[in-house]
Structure 1
Amino acid sequence: MSTAELTDRQRWTALVVLCVGMLMIVLDTTVVNVALPSIQNDLGFSNSGLAWVVNAYLIAFGGLLLLAGRLGDLLSRRGVFLAGLAVFTVCSIVCGASTSQAMLVGARFVQGVGGALTSAVVLGMIVTMFREPAEQAKAIGVFAFVASAGGSIGLLAGGVLTDTINWHWIFFINVPIGIVTAFFAARLLPHDRGAGLRAGADVIGAVLITSALMLLVYTMVKPAADKGWGASETLTLGAIALGLVALFVWREARAATPLVPLRIFRSRNVSGANLVQVLSVAGMFGVFFMGTLYLERVLEFSPLQIGFAFLPATLTMGALSIGWADRLILRFGGRAVLIAGMAMICAGLAWFTQISADGNYWVDVFPAMAVFGLGGGTAFPALMTLAMSGVEPQDAGLASGLVNTTAQVGGALGLAILATLASTHSAALRASGSAEAEALTGGYRLAFVVGLGFALGALLVAVVVIRPAGAPQGAPAHGHAGEPEREPVLSS
């Protein structure tokens, strides 16, 4: 069955299948984070070794997203999605059954490969199934909710599974979800045929970009986080990664059949939206990572309480992403909605910069979570729409992979910078005689300030770089009064 032959009910059912697959990938990250202490005690990980339970997954996942998205265009997005589900599900079994450190870390790396294959093509499939503007905006809103709010559900699930059973079940729970999703995906997702490997069989380009992204993610999650951004190892590996990126761009500009046609970056809105993605996700880690640490170490919340603490943001994101974001985008245009959403995200981060060591959840955290949820629920559906706007149908998988790649790079960048700054500042405060809670809170406040800087940078890019739909790429960013913008919609 092709995309054109799908009925309305079949398309929306297929969307549910895609989003369940994506939700499984999103949940995995936060579920694992909650269970890390239990994994460390059971398998005897050192503190540095324990980080590889997360890092091994992130390196494979972030490094392969762009390649996976392009393979979907060249082979079959449906086929790549199903292959990713199979790899992810099998590796979840191995992770859950792990009895040694090496077994778990190795399985997590391959699980990252499956996660990249699964998630890289989802957005490309959505925009080719939903061509009509209102439907596409609504479908992207559902996807944005799952991608952005699923992490909080993971905190709840991780706390429940770890506390009531054991850490092995945070991986085993993926198995029935993966099997059921694959069963329905094989029957409901439309069959598609890619352009063929000859249209982009650039092996050299594939090696360059995959190596560059893996090395870049590794540099940010390991030496940069452990030794600082000025350390010789960080600078050397970062320079090599950027050099590989430069070689990749040089290669793609000259290859007869490039893996990544550079035409995708000619759209000011596509390039601008991905830059906003990097900066905004880097800033958001101030909420989801440092916020979690503040609740746990200063306010002494349990993992389950932390999950409930994030619900205001999650529920607000969900209500806006699914119920209102599509209408706002159609009425005011993606650019205007993105700018308003980013302004609210900045306001939420600004509130977090005022936390105190003797803080109260309802005063210091809840208002910020509510405002943050409002911002995320409006900004991210608009951001996804802009990132996919004007992209040729044959490049939809590539654009989808690019959106996921910039999110991963932004997350790794934010984690490395914010964690390093918070840790260093807290240590300095301890050395000067501050109490433990005061020292920790001071470090987290600094991280929130820097996260706010990232978010303000994203807001500036949205204002300066992104243009209203229909405006020339070099034209001033303004439209006619009373005329709503219309984002370009992919056709198939």
Structure 2
Amino acid sequence: MSTAATGSPTTQAAPPDPRRWWALAVIALAQLMVVLDGTIVNIALPDAQRELGISDVDRQWVVTAYALAFGGLLLLGGRIADYWGRKRTFVVGMAGFAIASAVGGLAQTGFELYAARALQGVFGALLAPASLALLTVTFTEGRERAKAFGVYGAIAGGGAAIGLVLGGVLTEYADWRWCLLVNIPVAAIAVAAAIPLVSESKAHGDTRYDVPGAVVVTAGLVALVYGFTKAGEEAYGWSSAVSLGFIAAGVVLLAVFVVIEKRSNHPLLPLRIPLHPSRGGTYIASLLAGAGLLGALLFLTFYFQIVLGYSPIKSGIASLPLTAAVLATAGFATAMMTRTGPKPLMAAGGLVAASGMAVLSQIGVESAYATHVLPGLVLIGIGLGLLFVPLSNVALVGVEEHDAGAASALINATQQVGGAVGTALLSSFYSSSVTSYLESHAPSPALQFEAFVHGYSTAFWWGAAILALAAAVVLALVRVTKEELPTDAVVHVG
């Protein structure tokens, strides 16, 4: 790996943007909104289901419609940001996300809510890669970039838990609709601030769109996520023709996408981005971390509300130690990354988070929060803080500015697809575990709760295994050292 500054002397000596820290605040606000929306609706879902008359079978589409559109369109969104302009894409994504949120907040039927959530996913697929690409091209000095990525990584790791708290507050003290409508003022502030504070940038040279690649990869990701979602439903399962058919179709389409990208002169995802060993390992670790994290939050919410009888807001507050641990650890990880290099932090983060999952797997029907839940949450938060901060940095090391949007989109896509696949996997393990427990135990007043907890415990154990696998991938593939982290004004790594 070599590091070389390129470009004219004038470009190389250009001073940093004096508005860059204000721009970071705007980008962080937008990223927080996108991350929050992945979980804020979960708390509101029971109320929305009752008011709109949504069946138990169809309620999962409130979550899945967003995941399908977001995960399926992220790579295309990254290329649009590169070619059309990252600031312009950022502003359009924010405005569109607000409009989609208004449609969802005012929905009168279940179908309207599903459509609004899908539309949120479409604009989120523009917004998320544009945000990270702007961060990459705005902060070019090594230490400043590390701090900026520390903020971004903390939001990526802790924002989901904040969404649970905010969702509980809005649902309990206002109305479930505000879990969507709250995005409107946030987006308005971000758009108004972005126009004067964020500098425009775009890729130069070959900026033609890879239409065949965009169609095939979008179809492949949607098919894969849809197949895994169906596999996690009791009505279908892993052996159904629908589940296996969509998963197989997704795999085939993604293989075709690789062939298209190898032959294309203007690929949607240049294969040099994921085939770099360290970056490739980071993307795999990102997928696995997304799977383990979202699965944990989902079943932890069920445990709080169904078994422990917590209210929505109490359930959200009970998750706060995880967020606090992520935020506290992110600062430490940012400072240590230039001393130890990213690999030790990432590997340790995966193992610490896995140990936290293992602690949660020991819960019971009568377990105390302080002794059985809190330690696990803190360990998971520490682990995610150590993992996500260097992960965001390594995933973009050596990426040319021309490819910043595509590389940024790939980070978000791996986390989103990982979350959808992980939720389906853990839901399947949970369901089979509950069923076997009920069949093997004599009826009793507490049997149902005991079966639920047994299922949660099984899911947490699998979550621990997934996070431990992420650590193993980091140890095997990531080779970036502290000396190889960007330190110059303009950095290209070969």
Q: Is the 8 A contact 2:79 2:268 kept in 1?
A: yes
1:449 aligns with 2:466: no
> Unpaired segments of 5 or more residues in structure 1?
470-483
Q: For residues 73-111 of structure 1, give each alpha carbon's deviation from its aligned partner in whole angstroms, at most 9, with x where no partner exists.
A: 122111111111111011111111111122221121111
Residue identity matched to 1:179: A
- Map 1:308-387 onto structure 2 (within 5 A): 308-321=317-330, 323-387=331-395
- Map 1:31-50 onto structure 2 (within 5 A): 31-50=40-59
Q: Is the 8 A contact 1:88 1:111 kept in 2?
A: yes
Q: Is the 8 A contact 1:330 1:486 kept in 2?
A: no
Q: For residues 141-171 of structure 1, give each alpha carbon's deviation from its aligned partner in whole angstroms, at most 9, with x where no partner exists.
A: 1001112211222112111111112111111
Instruction: Show the counterpart of 2:82.
Output: 73
From 479, 485, 488, the equivalent of 1:487 is 485
Instruction: Show the counterpart of 1:477.
Output: none
Q: Is the 8 A contact 1:267 1:390 kept in 2?
A: no
Instruction: Show the counterpart of 1:394.
Output: 402
1:14 aligns with 2:23: yes
1:186 aligns with 2:195: yes
Residue identity over aligned pairs, in percent, reads 37
Instruction: Show the counterpart of 2:117.
Output: 108
Q: For residues 417-451 of structure 1, give each alpha carbon's deviation from its aligned partner in whole angstroms, at most 9, with x where no partner exists.
A: 10111122112212223611210111111111111
From 389, 403, 414, the equivalent of 2:422 is 414
Pair 382,230 (structure 1): closer, same or farther in 2 beyond 3 Å:
same
Quick one: distance in 2 between partners of 1:119 and 1:259?
Answer: 17
Q: Is the 8 A contact 2:324 2:381 kept in 1?
A: yes
Residue identity matched to 1:350: A
Quick one: distance in 1 between partners of 2:361 and 2:232?
Answer: 24
Pair 4,80 (structure 1): closer, same or farther in 2 beyond 3 Å:
farther
Quick one: distance in 2 between partners of 1:113 and 1:240?
Answer: 22
Q: Is the 8 A contact 2:291 2:418 kept in 1?
A: yes
From 224, 230, 235, the equivalent of 1:222 is 230
Instruction: State the 1:371 CA deviation.
Output: 1.3
Quick one: distance in 2 between partners of 1:245 and 1:238?
Answer: 11
Q: Is the 8 A contact 1:282 1:413 kept in 2?
A: yes
Instruction: Show the counterpart of 2:145.
Output: 136
Instruction: State the 1:266 CA deviation.
Output: 3.0
Note the aligned Cα RMSD (angstroms).
Answer: 1.8
Instruction: Show the counterpart of 1:473.
Output: none
Q: Is the 8 A contact 1:332 1:485 kept in 2?
A: no
Instruction: Show the counterpart of 1:234.
Output: 243
Instruction: State the 1:185 CA deviation.
Output: 0.8
The normalised TM-score by structure 2 is 0.92
Residue identity matched to 1:346: A
Instruction: Show the counterpart of 2:7.
Output: none
Instruction: State the 1:265 CA deviation.
Output: 2.3
Instruction: State the 1:218 CA deviation.
Output: 1.4
Instruction: Show the counterpart of 1:466.
Output: 478
1:210 aligns with 2:222: no
> Unpaired segments of 5 or more residues in structure 2?
1-10
From 285, 295, 311, the equivalent of 1:302 is 311
1:172 aligns with 2:171: no
- SS at the partner of 2:204? coil
- SS at the partner of 2:441? coil
Residue identity matched to 2:470: A
1:162 aligns with 2:160: no
Quick one: distance in 1 between partners of 2:156 and 2:195?
Answer: 22
Quick one: distance in 1 between partners of 2:13 and 2:322?
Answer: 37
Q: Is the 8 A contact 1:95 1:104 kept in 2?
A: yes
Q: Is the 8 A contact 1:128 1:491 kept in 2?
A: no
Q: For residues 190-214 of structure 1, give each alpha carbon's deviation from its aligned partner in whole angstroms, at most 9, with x where no partner exists.
A: 1113337x53422111111111111
Instruction: State the 1:184 CA deviation.
Output: 0.7
Q: Is the 8 A contact 1:200 1:259 kept in 2?
A: no
Instruction: Show the counterpart of 1:472.
Output: none
Moved over 4 A (4+): 2-9
Quick one: distance in 2 between partners of 1:58 and 1:24?
Answer: 15
Q: Is the 8 A contact 1:349 1:452 kept in 2?
A: yes
Instruction: State the 1:254 CA deviation.
Output: 0.8
Q: Is the 8 A contact 1:387 1:403 kept in 2?
A: yes
Quick one: distance in 2 between partners of 1:71 and 1:386?
Answer: 23
The normalised TM-score by structure 1 is 0.93
